[in-house]
Amino acid sequence: GQIKITFEKHDRYTILDVHSPDRLGFLYHVTNKMNQLGLIIYFAKISTKGDDIVDSFYVLDRNGHKVSQNDYQFIIAELTETITQIL
């Protein structure tokens, strides 16, 4: 599988969708990186389909606001790097 990270619109939260091959410790590494990036996870939907994961994280920034679209590419790059290191 391949790594795909997308953002969805939501009234209250920014939804961050992560599609990737699954690995031991995947969730730990991804959520730890999200914390380092200042993202607060309020809700998560975690699912595994075969050898791939499809996780949706409902997040806000440290100030309790939706994530700025200006930060999307940086977040995608950082999370992709983190995931690539564990694959």
Q: pTM for the full model?
A: 0.93
The C-alpha R_g of the chain, in whole angstroms, comes to 12
How many structural domains compose the chain?
Answer: 1
CATH code of residue 12: 3.30.70.260
Q: What is the pLDDT of residues 62-78, one digit of tens each?
A: 999 999 999 999 999 99
Over the stretch 2-29, which tens digit does the pLDDT of each residue have? Answer: 889 999 999 999 999 999 999 999 999 9
Contact in structure between 18 and 79 (CB atoms under 8 Å): yes
Burial of 47 (C-beta count, 10 Å sphere; 0-12/13-18/19+): exposed
Structural domain containing residue 29? 4-86
User: Which regions of the chain does DSSP assign to beta strands (E)?
Assistant: 4-8, 14-21, 39-49, 52-61
